[in-house]
Chains A and B, each alone.
Chain A
Amino acid sequence: MSILELKSLSKCFGGLRAVDDFTLTLAEGSLNALVGPNGCGKSTLFNLITGLMRPDAGKIQFKGQNITGWPPHKIARLGIGRKFQVPAIFEELSLRENLIIAARKNEQRAAIDNILEQINLSNEAHMLAGELAHGQKQWLEIGLLLAQAPSLILLDEPTAGMTAAETHATAELITRINRERSMTVLVIEHDMGFIEHLACPLHVMSKGQILKSGNFKVIRNDSEVKALYFGQSEAMPDA
């Protein structure tokens, strides 16, 4: 069963078609990755899904409801959580306070200690979020999503600025969230090592559209994708 359906979404900024007739369906409980060069429209796509921007055309269907043009808080309440590209946490609040805000409803608050443990920040619970190291901020933001407990989470470059070990641990955490909590996950990432570790279907985005979909091996050996990342194929004569 599908949880999210994007149908022919488009969004222009002036003359630039950031998202162009984009169509994608996510199955409930699935884990998917979206890759593509900078400026190909990935973050804009997330802004459209979460309601921070309105699409110029197209339809967004979540859990069978048409949520196109809904305000962000309503979309969030229906069950979409998002991790921003730059860690978006409340730096002036403590970690625990951050999670209290994210939990919103009282019954989820009991789970806060549990979440702190999962994101490996139990000892920092009373620290201000602004005092965390960069990688820890990324984790705290994932913790906010766990506290929010949505059914679909959108992760925008969750491992940016992380060390190799942290990246590895993050990949473990995300696959665990996907399996154990049965949350549907869509992740944007540049780090190919990370994506390989996730071992999930991959969608390559270029100029606002999906260029190719498939598993990691197929995508890695695809000539069009190679051209997208390493240069124009027309410019390189076939050897």
Chain B
Amino acid sequence: MRSNLLALLVFAALAAAPILIGGYWTGQLTTYLVYGLLAMSLSLVWGYGGILCFGQAMFFGIGGYIMAVLTKGMILPELTSSYLGLIAAMAGSALFALALGYFLFAGRGISGAYLAIITLAMALVLERLMNNWYALGGYNGLLNVPPIKLTFFGASFELWDRMPTFYAVLAVVALVYLLVSWLLNSTYGLKLTANRTHPDRLASLGYNVLIIRLSVFALSAAIAGLAGAIFVTLDGFASPTLIGFTLSTEALIWVAIGGKEMLLAAFLGAILTRTAESWLSEIFGDYWILILGIAFMISVVLLPKGLLATPLEKLTQGKGRKSR
């Protein structure tokens, strides 16, 4: 109950933020929300699913490119619906995750450091591929990706201005948070925990752990794909950096700092780290990355549950509920 209240407070604060921070920062915050969505997807697969995916940006990038290609009308000039683009981005990322996941988890099942290395390598390969795929813009990427066009009952509206865009993105992020939280509180969440901590036991009770792993991997990829698809419409272009190594590791740092086992903490980890980056890099220039590094180390060594998740869990836990 208390964690729901906390989430409500966080989203209410975010909804109120544009009044205080002005137009420029509202635009920035919109981007951070999208990064927060990527962080949630990583928290789901890593913190809850126990799958350390070191290349989460590949799903973000795949979603971004699919959205760009479709809404620019590069495949079907008549069919440039934003809705279709968003759905295709999610489906494309999820399908890619299913194929990759099957290769990783079937048979003996790759896990731990090996899984991390393979996913990292995949992200690097995809980044290389996009750099050299000239039909998709190569190194320069795809420019002039149109903004999201919302159509209801014949009327249409383009997300061009900052305020409506911010609130539309916030609504999507809140909806995803709500759905994933609900899912994690259902029996599916229990299965994920059981699979993370004792897969052999779970299999011996009659569960197909391959299906559980594939499902969480694909779901997480679909969310990352959605984030990527929204992202390219904000910036107006899709480039190989969306898919590769840098964004993948950044996402890991946000989630580790926030707290991988708490969806809300991971989400806030992305937003706060990004905000801190903007401020600190103005003051310290490139040295801000040292501060980020120290925060990361503190989080890993002293507070492995996350800098944010540790206090937030204390706040949300009533007397009755035990520690996790």
Q: Which of A50, A72, A91, A93 has the most CB of B within 10 A?
A: A72
Nearest residue in B to A90 (C-beta to C-beta)?
B194
Smallest beta-carbon distance A213→chain B, Å: 27
Q: Is the CB of B193 within 8 A of A128?
A: no
**What distance in Å separates the Cβ of A149 from its nearest Cβ neighbour in chain B?**
10
The answer to whether A88 touches B187, judged by C-beta atoms less than 8 angstroms apart, is: no
Once the chains bind, are A97 and B209 in contact (CB under 8 Å)? no
Contacts of A50 in B (CB 8 A): 204
Instruction: Write out, one digit per residue, whether chain B residues 163-200 have a CB within 8 A of any chain A CB (1) or not (0).
Output: 00000000000000000000000010011011001101
Point out the residues of chain A lying under 8 angstroms from B193, CB to CB: 90, 92-93
Q: Which residues of B contact A144 (CB under 8 A)?
A: 201, 205
In angstroms, Cα B168 to Cα A233, docked, is: 83
Q: In the complex, which residue of chain A has the Cβ closest to the Cβ of B199? A: A72
Q: Number of residue pairs across A and B with beta carbons under 8 Å? A: 70
Known interface pairs A72-B204, A76-B203, A101-B194. Does A131 touch B322 (Cβ–Cβ under 8 Å)?
yes
Q: With a CB–CB cut-off of 8 A, which chain A residues contact B207? A: 73, 76, 104
A76 B206 Cβ-Cβ under 8 A: yes
The distance from the CB of A13 to the nearest CB of chain B, in whole angstroms, is: 16
B interface: dominant SS: helix
Q: Is B115 an interface residue (CB 8 A)?
A: no
Residue of A nearest to B196 (CB): A92
A173 at the B interface (CB under 8 A): no
Residues in chain A near residue B278, CB distance under 8 A: none
Q: How far is the CA of A71 from the CA of B190 in the complex (A)?
A: 22
Contact status A101-B202, CB under 8 Å: yes
- Whether B208 is near chain A, meaning CB under 8 Å from some CB there, is yes
Cβ of B324 under 8 Å from chain A: yes
- Taking the closest CB of chain A, its distance from the CB of B189, in whole angstroms, is 10
Nearest CB of chain B from residue A139's CB, rounded to whole Å = 15
A102 at the interface (CB under 8 A from B): yes
Most buried by A among B190, B200, B204, B322: B204
Residue in B198, B209, B324 whose CB lies within 8 Å of A90: B198
| CB <8 Å contact, B197 and A104 | no
B183 to A: closest C-beta gap in Å:
16
**Cβ-defined partner of B205 (8 Å) among A52, A104, A128, A131:** A104
A84→B201 contact, CB < 8 A: yes
Residues of B within 8 A of A88 (CB): 198, 200-201, 204
Say whether, besides A127-B322, A131-B322, A72 and B194 are in contact (CB < 8 Å): no
| Residues in chain A near residue B324, CB distance under 8 A | 92, 128
Residues in B neighbouring A102, C-beta threshold 8 A: 205
In angstroms, Cα B205 to Cα A84, docked, is 12
- CB nearest neighbor in B for A91: B197
**A75-91, CB under 8 A of B: which get 1 and which 0?**
01100011010001111
Assess the B205–A92 pair: CB atoms within 8 A: no
Does A148 have its Cβ within 8 Å of any Cβ on chain B? yes
Q: Contact partner of B201 among A77, A89, A100, A128, CB < 8 A?
A: A89
Contact A82-B187, Cβ < 8 Å, known A88-B198, A91-B197, A93-B193: no
Closest A-B pairs by Cβ, 6 of them: A76-B206, A72-B203, A88-B201, A77-B206, A73-B208, A90-B194
Other than A50-B204, A88-B198, give 7 A-B pairs with Cβ distance below 8 A.
A73-B208, A76-B203, A88-B201, A90-B193, A90-B197, A93-B190, A101-B194
**30 A-B pairs (CB sep. < 8 Å):** A52-B203, A71-B203, A72-B203, A72-B204, A73-B203, A73-B204, A73-B207, A73-B209, A76-B206, A76-B207, A77-B206, A81-B205, A82-B204, A84-B200, A84-B201, A88-B200, A90-B194, A90-B201, A92-B193, A92-B197, A92-B324, A93-B190, A93-B193, A101-B190, A101-B191, A104-B206, A126-B320, A126-B322, A144-B201, A148-B206
